[in-house]
């Protein structure tokens, strides 16, 4: 789902609904003058503050928005990043449509999860101050429906507190159904919904918030 990671890694690849309130006293402390480079250890994804969102386009003109809650993830001490997407939690705001997306499109009985993976060069934004933001182009790997593809995104990286960093898309990323062998599932959705078409290119946005779990060096 995304040009998700380069100098920051993807830094890690959905609608930005993140709490930007500074974190309290975390494991790494809360000094506003502390540099990111001083924080050791892993960074964990804040599941409540993070999500991936996407839109479906039906009959060439009807646009509906959906999202994935319940994301989990981590950036390790060595910079290895994994974001796990629970496909069986897809939220379309209609229960029956959720079930159809799970069973017909994502086939969650066989493929319950998707992953975004990348390697992070953390020194690329080590001097980012609290409240500071930089824009970068990221790339990573999306594993979906048993198929890996390279994904790309333009993102803003914002240090929202001494120990919290937000990574959010600056514009939608287009994911193509064919890249993950999901054409049959899309056709099954189209048929059961009795629609003339569902566009096989999906705009995706994301907001990821990471919190330091290590101690300041």
- Cα(151)–Cα(52) distance, integer angstroms: 14
Q: State the pLDDT at residue 107.
A: 97
Give the residue with greater pLDDT, 128 vs 38. 128
Q: What is the pLDDT of residues 53-103, one digit of tens each?
A: 999 999 988 999 999 999 999 988 887 889 999 999 999 999 999 999 999
Cβ(66)–Cβ(92) under 8 Å?
yes
Give the SS3 label for residue 143: strand
Domains of the chain: 36-211 (2.40.128.110)
The predicted model scores a pTM of 0.81
Half-sphere exposure (Cβ direction) of 79: Cα atoms closer than 13 Å: 18
Q: State the pLDDT at residue 139.
A: 86
Distinct helix (H) and strand (E) counts, the chain: 2, 11
């Amino acid at each position: 789902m995304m040009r998700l990671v380069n100098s920051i890694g993807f830094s890690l690849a959905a609608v930005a609904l993140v709490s930007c309130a500074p974190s309290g006293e975390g494991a790494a402390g809360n000094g506003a003058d502390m540099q990111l480079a001083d924080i050791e250890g892993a960074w964990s994804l804040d599941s409540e503050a993070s999500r991936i969102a996407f839109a479906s386009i039906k009959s060439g003109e009807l646009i509906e928005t959906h999202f994935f809650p319940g994301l989990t993830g981590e950036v390790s001490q060595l910079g290895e990043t994994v974001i796990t997407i629970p496909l069986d939690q897809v939220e379309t705001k209609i229960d029956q449509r959720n079930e159809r997306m799970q069973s017909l499109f994502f086939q969650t009985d066989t493929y319950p999860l998707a992953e975004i993976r990348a390697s992070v060069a953390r020194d690329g934004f080590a001097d980012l101050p609290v409240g500071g933001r930089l824009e970068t182009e990221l790339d990573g790997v999306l594993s979906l429906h048993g198929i890996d593809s390279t994904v790309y995104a333009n993102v803003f990286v914002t240090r929202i507190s001494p120990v919290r960093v937000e990574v959010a898309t600056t514009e939608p990323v287009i994911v193509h159904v064919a890249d993950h062998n999901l054409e049959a599932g899309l056709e099954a959705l189209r048929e059961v919904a009795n629609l003339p078409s569902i566009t096989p290119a999906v705009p995706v946005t994301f907001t990821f918030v990471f919190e330091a779990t290590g101690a300041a060096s």
